[in-house]
Amino acid sequence: MVGNLSLVGYGLATIGPAIAVGLIFAAYINGVARQPESGKLLQPIAILGFALAEALAIFGLVLFFL
Amino acid sequence: MSFNVLASTLGTMAPAEEVSHFPPTPEIFWQPLFSVGPVTVTRAMVVAAISVIGIAWWLIATTQRAAVVPSKGQFLTEGVYGFVRNGIAKDMIGSKEFIRFVPLLFSLFIFILVNNLFGITPFIQMPTMSRIGFPIALVLIVYVVYHAIGIKKRGLAGYFKFLVPAGLPAWIAPFIFVLEFITFFITRPLTLALRLFGNMFAGHMLLVVFIVGGWELFLADSFFLKLAALPAWLLAFAFTLFEGLVQFLQAYVFTLLAASYIGGALADEH
C-alpha cells in the first residue's frame, strides 16, 4: 500500500475548490433571490465560474496519478 | 467468476489475479478488447462508434421529414438545437457572428452528452470521456478553431498584439503578454480537456467503488458486512442520478467554454 498519503492529500486539496464552488452558487442564489429576473443572465456566469473553480480540483486528481 | 464478469462490465477493474491495485496507475486502465493488425480497439472506441451511429440515425430520422407541427422526436431535437443555439452560442459569441459556429457547438454538445450518458446507461456503463484521448481530440478541434478565427480576423501579429489590452503602462505589458499567452495557449486547452476527463473519470470511479464495493461486502463472510451492502447499493443508485446531472452539466460547460473562447477570439476588445 504505497501512495496513501497522496490520496489523503488529494482529499484535502478538494476542500479549497469545494468552498469556492459553494461561494459561487451562494452568490448566484443571493443574486437571483434579490432580483429574480436576473436569473437567466447570471446562470451562464455562475456556471462559468463554477467550471473555472472546479478545474483546480481536477488538476489535483491528475497530479495524483503523476 | 461472477465478480470478474461484473468487474469487466464496469470496465475499469483489475485483472483476475489477486494483486493489490492500489493506488491505481494509468496502466491498469489500458484494457484492449481486441486488435486488428496495428490497430487496437478499446471499449471506449466501441462506445464512441455506437454513439456516432446512434446520433446520426436519430438526427436523420427526426429531421428528414421535418414538419411545421413537429413530432415528439423532432420536438426533442429542435429543443436541444435551440438550447445550444440561443442558450450557448448566441449568449457567448454575440448575435452577429454566432450562426456559423452553431453546427460545431451543436455537434460538440450532443456528442459529449450522449457519450457521457453512456456512463450511466445499463450494460454499457462506460463514459467515453473518462479516457483522456477523447477529450484531447475534441479540445484540439476547439483549439484550432478559436486560434484560426482569431488569426484570420487580425493577422498573426495583430492576434498577438490583441493579447495585451490597450492602454497599459509600457513596463507592465510584457508581463501581461506572458500571462495572457499562457492562458490562451496552455491553460485554456489543458483545463478544457482535463475538466471533462476528470469529471467523467471521477464519477465512473465513484460508481465502481459503490457498486463493486457493495458486491464485495455482500460476498463477505460476516452477516453485518452483508447488511452493509444494502446502503452501499442505495448510495450507488443515488450517485447514478447525481452522475446524470453532472454528465449533462459537463457537456454544457464544455460547449459553453468553447463558445466563450470563440467569442473571446472574435471580440473587438478585451
The distance of B252 to chain A (nearest Cα, Å) reads 9
pLDDT tens series, chain B, 270 aa? 344 444 444 444 444 445 566 666 777 778 788 888 888 888 889 999 999 999 999 999 988 887 788 888 899 999 999 999 998 998 888 888 899 999 999 999 999 999 999 989 888 888 899 888 999 999 999 999 999 999 998 888 888 888 888 788 888 888 988 998 998 899 899 999 999 998 998 899 889 889 988 998 899 888 888 888 899 999 999 999 999 999 999 999 999 999 999 998 888 765
Chain A residues within 8 Å of chain B (Cβ atoms) = 1-4, 6-7, 44, 47-48, 50-52, 54-55, 57-59, 61-62, 64-65
Percent of chain B scoring above 70 in pLDDT: 90
B58 touches chain A (CB under 8 A): no
pLDDT at A58: 82
User: Which chain B residues are within 8 Å of A8, Cβ to Cβ?
Assistant: none
Q: Is B74 on the interface with A (CB under 8 A)?
A: no
| Residue range(s) defining the domain that contains residue B215 | 42-265
Residue range B32-71, pLDDT digits in tens: 888 888 888 888 899 999 999 999 999 999 888 877 888 8
* Amino acid in the structure at residue B188: R
**B179 lies in a domain?**
yes
Contacts of A62 in chain B (CB under 8 A): 194, 197-198
SS (H, E, C) chain B: CHHHHHHHHHCCCCCCCCCCCCCCCHHHHCCEEEEECCEEEEHHHHHHHHHHHHHHHHHHHHHCCCCCCCCHHHHHHHHHHHHHHHHHHHHHHCCCCHHHHHHHHHHHHHHHHHHHHHHHCCCCCCCHHHCCHHHHHHHHHHHHHHHHHHHHHHCHHHHHHHCCCCCCCCCCHHHHHHHHHHHHHHHHHHHHHHHHHHHHHHHHHHHHHHHHHHHHHHHCCCHHHHHHHHHHHHHHHHHHHHHHHHHHHHHHHHHHHHHHHHHHHHCCCC
User: Is residue B198 situated within a structural domain?
Assistant: yes
CB hemisphere CA count around A20 (13 angstroms): 16
In a domain, B97, yes or no: yes
Q: Kindly list the distances between the CA atom of residue A62 and the CA atoms of A15, A65, B2, in Å, as whole numbers in the listed order.
A: 16, 5, 32
Chain A touched by B105 (CB under 8 Å): no
- Give the C-alpha separation, B177 to B174, whole Å: 5
Instruction: Provide the chain B residues 221-240 that lie in CB contact (below 8 A) with chain A.
Output: none
Structural domain count, chain B = 1
Rounded distance, CA B230 to CA B111, Å?
35
> Residue B147, class by beta-carbon neighbours within 10 Å (0-12 exposed, 13-18 middle, 19+ buried)?
middle
Query: How high is the pLDDT of residue B6?
Result: 44
CA distance A65 to chain B (A): 7
Query: Which residue does chain B place closest to A59, by CA atoms?
Result: B194
Asked whether residue B147 is assigned to any structural domain, the reply reads yes
Contact yes or no for A7 and B23 at CB 8 A: yes
Q: Does the beta-carbon distance from A62 to B22 stay under 8 Å?
A: no
Decide if B34 is inside a domain: no
CATH number of A16-65: 1.20.20.10
Residue B112, chain A, CB below 8 Å: the answer is no
Inter-chain residue contact A58 with B26, CB threshold 8 Å: no
Are A62 and B252 in contact (CB < 8 Å)? no
Query: In angstroms, rounded to a whole number, what is the distance separating the alpha carbons of residues B30 and B124?
Result: 17
Residue B76: all three cell numbers together = 426533442
Angstrom distance (rounded) from CA B43 to CA B41:
7
The answer to whether residue B4 is domain-embedded is no
pLDDT digits (tens, 9 = 90+) for B236-254: 999 999 999 999 999 999 9
CA terminus-to-terminus distance, chain A: 17
Give the A:B interface size as CB pairs under 8 Å.
Answer: 51
HSE at residue B61, side-chain half, CA atoms within 13 A, is 9
ipTM for the predicted complex comes to 0.82
pTM exceeds 0.80: yes
